Structure 1
Amino acid sequence: MAATEAERRAMRRALEIARTPGVPLGPNPRVGCVLLAEDGSEVAEGFHRGAGTPHAEAAALAEAGEAARGTTAVVTLEPCNHTGRTGPCAQALIDAGVRRVVFAQPDPNPVAAGGAETLRAAGIEVEADVLLDEARAVNRAWTFAVEHGRPFVTWKFATTLDGRSAAVDGSSRWVSSKAARLDTHRLRGLCDVMLVGTNTVEVDDPELTVRDEVDEPVEHQPLRAVMGLRDLPITKRVFNRRAETVHLRTRDPHEALAELFAQDRQHVFLEGGPTLGGVFLQAGLVDEVVAYVAPMLLGAGRNAVGVLGIASIAHALHLPVTDVTVLEGHDGEDTNVRITMRGN
């Protein structure tokens, strides 16, 4: 039986609570669950609050108690079928006496998949792929990482109109406006790794933390990763106690991503300079590009993108634009434009 309108409304609600702000990013996907009575009214709801906490289905079942019997569970991701830090959600739904399960996205993780078959074998009605695209969007990076065996890579850079990231004397503060910098912190907070090269640490000494509108570090910080063979002074700010830091001693972007994936990281925010960005682009490992364009001209200076080995316009790398947003300047600051593009 196809999903009813009440079930589709419940799925929209489940997707909404799956996005609840404040849930720390981690190895697990964001999931929401709504339990419906036979008349379509909501009985209970729950969402996953991070690794080691009850899954969305378990949270909803706990809220419902005995009222869960005979309900329809509307879940954004196929109920898991394995025992990890918590028990299998498919079995929990069976034990609770749920009558029907409607879910959006099949679980791409082979370790956890199979919940639908377990539910059907227990005599429970199952309907899949309801609002599938919306559910995949909620867990875009997690889904990509599971399906590709490596983290999703977003490369961010700031540039002048003539493609410069710094002036001839090396000065680069500030190519981007304050509004663009605040927006960058917002995007940093959506990732679980911030990656730079050793040269960026040596020259710019960035702290690589996510900060709020008053420039204070937020509670949950992504992993800071530094890539390269060079030894770095422990006094560099990237090694302070405000966040965890790992030194990836390789120049191979494939090796760097493999090491981060082995640490259960799904979304890398690449903030290195033009050389590191060029290395990842040439390797075909940039999945999204976010460029902040400032209305200024330098005429000379450091290029925003490193050497790509492109000698002819016929071989130019074309990046499909997915979003263009104007970031209004304040107090005399330039207005910047954020252009988001699909990578190569």
Structure 2
Amino acid sequence: MFPSAPPFLDVQLGSAPPDHVVVDENGGKADPNTVKGGEPQVFPLTVQVDDETKAQDDDGNDLRVRLSTDVLFALNKADLTAKAEAALKDVAAKIDQSAGTTVKIDGHTDNSGNDAINDPLSERRAQAVKAALERLVTREGINYQVQGHGSKDPIATNENEEGRRVNRRVTVLFPKPEPPSAPPAPPAAAPTPAADGKLPVLGTAPSGDPPDVLKGEWPAQAEVRINEVRRDRNGFVSLVWTLRNNDDQPLNAWTSSHDYSGVYAEASTSQAAIVSGSLRYRAVRDSVNKVTLGPYLLVTPMDDYMVEKGEEYTLWAMFKLPPEVKTANVHIPGFQPVQNIKVG
């Protein structure tokens, strides 16, 4: 992977001895076999999947299901709504599939109100979810640990409504169930380039509703072209798309591309999504810095990401999809969904 280019998938590793490499501007060289490098930084990755009631974060070891309290409860109440039953049945089924014996349930609010209201409210809501899961989970021997945090542990910003909505949650954490065994996937086939050397086009869509931060500043005459949706042997999917502007209004590819809730770090392509049925697969991010696996637009010159009339700009992001997802819709902010794109 390179910061400014789409990723290369399933690259074969060779065994040839490394050549000496240039290490300074004067042409000095070093032998990679003898020079000691710094310790590698290894960050676990988080795969997020959303539906209308919850978001699920998978870090490879645990599942963290963030249930929206806007769906589970009425305003300032701790009694579960009718819609809560289906969401909690899904969580209970995953707990039944898990081998873990501890389930942590944490209630959270946004920063509206004060601690005297938020702290007990978050505790009562977490207890309500615990009572429902004790009824729905069929496996015995589970220890439920419950705590209310009020507004003290936000995962998103409280400076806008989207961030506050994300912060209003009850989180259920438990060890990830073992996935069913499946034969290893074959290496992904590289897309066939067009005869003119341009990127292939799998589907297109015109401008749609402008991103919230760019209302009144979004080109009406623009399109998105999906160039690649390709899966590697480990289930990671490379999504590549090109923005084409045919309008006098410049297209701001940076401001429109990232998620402003605060769940993701700014300045990348975290707002793109791959949608299959009721599930919305979000871009993979690292679990420490919340950085999307995509281009780092913060260091991109403005002349590049401000797409003028007649210009194009190519972006990318990495996802992880289950093997059963063969066809999906691609949602790029500011454009209508691109329908029925095959996952190669």
TM-score under structure 2 length normalisation: 0.25
Which one has a larger percent strand, Structure 1 or Structure 2?
2
Which one has a larger percent helix, Structure 1 or Structure 2?
1
The one of the two structures with greater contact order (alpha-carbon pairs below 8 A, sep at least 6) is: 2
